[in-house]
Structure 1
Amino acid sequence: MSSELSRLKARKKCSKQVDEIYGEAQRAYLIHYSCQSFYDNTSGNSTRITSIAVRNLESGQTKSFSMYKSAELSGQQSNIQGNMDALERSMLQDYFTFLNANHEATYLHWNMRDENYGFAALEHRFRVLGGSPYVLLDNRKFDLARALVTLYGRQYAPHTSPSGRKGRLMSIVEMNHIADADALEGAAEAAAFESGQYLKLHQSTLRKVDIMANIFDRVHGNSLETKGTFADRYGFHWSLIGELLKGSSIVKTIVVFGSIAAALVGFAKAWQLFFP
Structure 2
Amino acid sequence: MSFIQSKRLKQRNEGLKDLEKSLENKAKTLIIHYSCESFVNLHGRSPRITSISIRNLQTGQTISFSIHIQAQINTLDFNNLSDEDYDKLEFDMLDEFYKFARERLKFKWIHWNMHDTNFGFEAISNRFRILGGEPLEIDIENRFDLPRILSKLYTYDYEDHGDNGKLLSLCARNGISCRDALSGKKEAEAFENKNYLALHKSTLNKISIIESILEKTDSNCLKVKVSYRIIYGLSISGIKEIIANNWILNLVRGIIIFLLGVFVEKYIF
Q: Same fold (TM over 0.5)?
A: yes
Give the match for residue 150 of structure 1. 152
SS in 2 for 1:77: coil
Tell me, yes or no, if the aligned pair for 1:68 and 1:198 is still in contact at 8 Å: yes
Cα distance in 2 between the residues matched to 1:195 and 1:79 = 10
Cα distance in 1 between the residues matched to 2:122 and 2:92 = 18
Which amino acid in the other structure matches residue 150 of structure 1?
K
Which amino acid in the other structure matches residue 42 of structure 1?
L
Which amino acid in the other structure matches residue 142 of structure 2?
R
What do the CA deviations read for 1:31-72 (whole angstroms, capped 9, x no partner)? 100000112x33421111000001111111111111111101
Q: Which structure 2 residues correspond to residues 51-70 of structure 1 after superposition, within 5 A?
A: 51-70=51-70
Tell me, yes or no, if the aligned pair for 1:55 and 1:61 is still in contact at 8 Å: yes
How many residues are treated as equivalent by the alignment?
A: 248
Structure 2 gaps of 5+ residues are: 252-269
Tell me, yes or no, if the aligned pair for 2:105 and 2:137 is still in contact at 8 Å: no
> Aligned in 2, Cα 1:270/1:135: closer, same or farther, shift over 3 Å?
farther
Tell me, yes or no, if the aligned pair for 1:222 and 1:270 is still in contact at 8 Å: no
What do the CA deviations read for 1:226-254 (whole angstroms, capped 9, x no partner)? 11211234x3x22x56xxxxxxxxxxxxx
Q: Which structure 2 residues correspond to residues 121-136 of structure 1 after superposition, within 5 A?
A: 121-136=123-138
Give the match for residue 44 of structure 1. 44
> Aligned in 2, Cα 1:80/1:225: closer, same or farther, shift over 3 Å?
farther
How far off is 1:28 after superposition? 0.6
Residue 161 of structure 2, aligned match among 159, 162, 167? 159
Tell me, yes or no, if the aligned pair for 2:228 and 2:242 is still in contact at 8 Å: no
Which amino acid in the other structure matches residue 244 of structure 2?
V
What do the CA deviations read for 1:3-52 (whole angstroms, capped 9, x no partner)? 4322321211211221233331111111100000112x334211110000
SS in 1 for 2:202: helix
Q: Give the structure-1-normalised TM-score.
A: 0.84
How far off is 1:219 after superposition? 0.1
Give the match for residue 115 of structure 1. 117
Q: Which structure 2 residues correspond to residues 258-269 of structure 1 after superposition, within 5 A?
A: 260-268=239-247
Cα distance in 2 between the residues matched to 1:179 and 1:77 = 32
Cα distance in 2 between the residues matched to 1:5 and 1:80 = 59
Q: Which structure 2 residues correspond to residues 219-230 of structure 1 after superposition, within 5 A?
A: 219-230=217-228
> Aligned in 2, Cα 1:56/1:121: closer, same or farther, shift over 3 Å?
same
Greater alpha carbon shift after TM alignment, 207-216 vs 56-65: 56-65
Give the match for residue 71 of structure 1. 71
Give the match for residue 203 of structure 1. 201
Greater alpha carbon shift after TM alignment, 102-111 vs 4-13: 4-13
What do the CA deviations read for 1:122-157 (whole angstroms, capped 9, x no partner)? 000000000000011110100001111111122211
> Aligned in 2, Cα 1:169/1:13: closer, same or farther, shift over 3 Å?
same
Give the match for residue 19 of structure 2. 18
Give the match for residue 32 of structure 1. 33
Residue 88 of structure 1, aligned match among 80, 87, 90? 90
